Amino acid sequence: MEARRTHLREWLGEWALDRALRETPPLSPAPRNGAETARGAAMRVRDIVLLHPADTPSAERPVYVALLAGPDAGEWFVAPFGPFAAPAGDGEWLTGRTVAPLRVLCLWNARRMPAPVVVRGWRAGRLTPREHATALRVWRAWREGSDLDARTRARTGAPIVHPRDPRREYEAEEAQWMDEAAADPEGRCGPAPGYAVPDSDWALAAEPPRDAPRGRRARRDPT
């Protein structure tokens, strides 16, 4: 529990700094020289992909996602990496990586994404099998309310409960650009896949009810 309190204090400090720096022009999200060679190559489960900036026009930073499952019916199940060094809530997980854009994986913001959006991006690395398995456990725990082992739980953030918690504003902003990237004319993309996950002996949970709040379990949202 103390680890989660520490994560929350650190996250609130980063959030305050981010608010103060909003007037600073963002860095260009263009990839480094050489990244173009990986663009459009065949993507695989566990790849880390830098999305094309045209697919996330409201994002103020380069957007990296991890391919967690798929492809299925022309879609991937992906989760984005967050902007801060500390996890915001219990749906965010500290990966242990030191590269700034890949420190925290936001499983609460995971969703299906059309394959053309993924292919337009650049491969930027790969999750290890252990990272992939842990990410799926965190996603499942957040979605279903199941428990995590103490070590993994200590690398997630504190649950978001209060309706005025600033982390809700943060989640709304982060969900916006993921919605942009996942948009398609038929409206098929959303935050709840039903894929059988490769390299795992269990399947992801079924789709939530249609009236469930988008992007989180209903029981997480106080009335």
In this prediction, residue 56 carries a pLDDT of 86
In a domain, 127, yes or no: yes
Q: Which residues contact 119 (CB under 8 A, 6 or more apart)?
A: 40, 43
pLDDT in tens, 51-109: 998 888 888 888 999 999 988 888 999 999 999 999 999 999 999 999 989 999 999 99
In a domain, 28, yes or no: no
Which helix or strand (DSSP H or E) is residue 80 part of? strand 75-80
In a domain, 64, yes or no: yes
pLDDT at 185 over 80: no
Cis peptide before 87 (omega within 30 of 0): no
Give the range with max mean pLDDT: 12-21, 62-71, 176-185, 195-204: 62-71
Q: Please classify residue 38 by burial: count the beta carbons closer than 10 Å to its beta carbon, then call 0-12 exposed, 13-18 middle and 19+ buried.
A: middle
In a domain, 178, yes or no: yes
In a domain, 193, yes or no: yes
Q: State which residues form the domain around 101.
A: 2-22+33-220
Could you tell me which residue, 204 or 146, shows the higher pLDDT? Answer: 146
Q: Which residues contact 166 (CB under 8 A, 6 or more apart)?
A: 12, 15
Stretch 154-160: mean pLDDT, rounded? 93
Sheet hosting strand 111-114, strand order edge to edge? 111-114, 75-80, 64-72, 47-50, 122-126
- The pLDDT confidence band at residue 39, using thresholds 50, 70 and 90, is low
pLDDT in tens, 21-31: 454 444 444 44
Q: How many domains does the chain have?
A: 1
In a domain, 185, yes or no: yes
How far is residue 144 CA from its own chain's centroid? 17
In a domain, 27, yes or no: no
